Every structure is written in structure tokens, then in C-alpha cells.
Amino acid sequence: MKYSFIIPTYNNKVLLKNTLESFNYQNGKRQDYQVIVVDDGSSDGTYEYIKGINREYDLKYLFLERCADSCRARTRNYGWRNAQGEIIVFIDSDIIINRDYLTELDRCFSLSRDIMVIGNRLMLNEEVSFFDISSGEIFNKYRFDRSNYDLLEFRHFLYETTSYNSNAIICPWMQVYSCNLAIPKQWLEMVGGFDENFKFWGLEDLELGYRLYERKLQLVINYQLEVLHQYHGPRMDLVIQPDKVAGYEFNIDYFLNKHPEALRLPRKYAHKFFKGEMSSDKMLMDIGLEKKLLEFREKSDLQGFKERLMDQLSQDKIRTIVVDYVEDTDLDLWVQLLGVTTMNIVRYHPASRRIDVKRMMKYLKVEKERQIKLA
């Protein structure tokens, strides 16, 4: 079996049922994947509510009794350790996957099995009904829209100011979110999975990403592996909610004590970095670099374009920017699989994902102020 999807849940049966319904419309083959729901002690009748939802795929339901050790890390570990798939895919119980999700996973793992793959979310601002999914309407209604900033998550903005090439991002492991993440099972076994000492909200997925990154597992951003995040209240992704601050700060200290080499910043600045109060794009060393733009416009010229790009990457003291107008090849993945072996690192951007930076920064400022007031 290729893929095992691990979905942790706790008293979230309505959104979970929507999530599971979306799996019935995958373009892939039924025998290629399984879905495992790991219930972390729900008391809302989750099993009876979702029973029979899997018309087109195999579903396994696992129940963990609630206890002092209950946490997201424990729940996800229990799931992948009981999985049959060679690739473990983590999503949350409020996520809806698009029809081509398996196709996009295949696109990545057909090139290499020694990668971890992350995708983005589109943040819905209205509730999703079961009919929206069962009718197929939702798959056509929500698409990436560069002008609709309310729909985009923070990483869309980060990649615009840095790159969709993970190698060009400072601390790329900080983008490893378990809401949309695929990792080969053998690599999870190698590092032991999630650290279950992260009892509070946050960082358990980033810390796993850090350990895998340190083991030289290549991180790949697949911008086409996009999922829908169901609305369940105003979005609060730019600030830490007050009831989570103490636990999150505890997790930060635990991370820094475990990995003092990870950031090499004074602790107070490391805290700011983890809280999003220090922007990683400001830490890029672009000063003094000559910028050279390469535009990929002809699919038939892919091999020639790669050769010209490699020639440019052998030059020192330049910043190579690639804008992909084709977006129907493996170029986005190929530039990332180069790793950091070239003299300079490609800043890759798919043309359809380009965002107006000035408008973006203005939006983020206003949106963060709104979230602070709500917090």
C-alpha cells in the first residue's frame, strides 16, 4: 500500500465527517491508500456519527482512552505505528482534500522516496455543509485566488517574499505543519516519530521536521498539494491565543533545551522567532547579490531550461529567480531536489501564485491587529 492517512480527532465529529467524505472523490485507486482516524478519547459519539462514510476507501477507526499522557503527538504516533502504507500522510480533522491529492503525492514520491512533502491550506471563511462535499460543489468553489487574501494562509505570504523552494528559506523545518504533511514511514521509524513530551499546543510537528531535516531528509514544498481548512470560528493564525500562550512558551523552552543548536539566537529572540514576531525573510543575505531572472514559458524546452539554469547556478554572488509560467512539469520539485549543492540557490516562484507584496504587507498588518483584538 502506498499511503496511510492519519487523522487525529477529539470531539470534532461534524467537521471530521466532512473530511472523510472528501476521500470518496479521490482520483487515485482504492487499493493505494487507507485512512486511519485516531480518536483521542472523544465523548461526542464520533464513531457512530462517521460509521459507513467510507464508500470508496478503507477506513480504520482507533480509539485511545483519555489520560494524563493524551496529546497530539501521542495520537499521531499511535496512528502511523498501526499503518500499512509506505508513506504516512498527516492531515487534521478539519481538512478537506481535493480530488487530485493522491495524484500530487504521486508526482512527488515518483521522483524520490527520501523526501518529506508539505502543502498549504486555503482558509475558508464560511461553514461547509456535508452536501457541499457530496455534491462536488466545494471542489470547484474554492481555488487559490491571489487577490483574496482572506483565503490564503501565512505560508503563502512567506513563500512570496522568499521562495517556493524550501532550500531558499531560513529554517525551512519551521514550515512543517502536520495539517498537510507526508513522510515515508521508514523515516518516522528512524527518528521515533513525534516527541510525546510536547503535551501542550504547538511545535510537536516542527520539532519532528527539525529532526528529519537534521538527518538530511529533503523538505519539498508542493504548492499544488493544497487542502481546504474548514471554517469553525474566526481565523487566528497570526497570533497565539491567550489560553495557549503559557503552554506554547513551555513547548518553546522544551524545544530549545532539546535542540540548543537549532536557532543560535538568544532565548528571548528565539521565543520571538517561534511566535512569528521575527520574520525569517528579513534574515536572508541578499545584500550585494546580483539578481538574475529566468522565465520558463515553453514546456517543450524543459530540458534546455534546466541546463541553462544549472549553468547559472554554478556562478557565485548572484541570486537566481525562476518564474514558472508553465506549471505543468516537475520543475518546481526538481529545483528543490537539487538541495544546497549548487553555488547559489534558486528562488522559484510559480507565476499563478505571485502576490502583490505591498498589498500583502498592508493586509497582514490589518489582519494581525484584528486578531489581537479578538484574542
- Per-residue pLDDT of 44-62, as tens digits, reads 999 999 999 999 999 999 9
Domain assignment of residue 349, yes or no: yes
CATH number at residue 73: 3.90.550.10
Considering the domain boundaries, does residue 238 fall inside one? no
Ranges 3-7, 205-209, 284-288, 353-357: which has the least confidence:
284-288
Per the structure, the count of domains in the chain is 2
Asked whether residue 257 carries a pLDDT value surpassing 80, the answer given is: yes
Q: Is residue 269 part of a domain?
A: no
Q: Max Cα separation, the chain?
A: 62
Residues 224 and 296 in one domain: no
Task: Identify the CA nearest to 207 among candidates 158, 153, 264, 251.
Answer: 251
How many Å apart are CA 186 and CA 109, to the nearest integer? 14
> What's the pLDDT tens digit per position in 217-227?
999 999 999 99
Q: Which amino acid is at 311?
A: D
CA distance 231 to 209: 26
pTM of the model: 0.95
The residue among 212, 229, 246 that closes a domain is 229
76 and 50 Cβ atoms separated by less than 8 Å: no
Tell whether 95 is covered by a domain: yes
Residues 46 and 161 in one domain: yes
Task: Give the Cα separation of 117 and 218 in Å (integer).
Answer: 9
- What is the tens place of the pLDDT at every residue in 182-235? 999 999 999 999 999 999 999 999 999 999 999 999 999 999 999 999 999 998
Residue 241 in domain: no
Residues 277-314: pLDDT tens digits? 876 555 454 556 788 999 999 999 999 999 999 999 98
**For residue 325, what are the domain limits?**
290-353
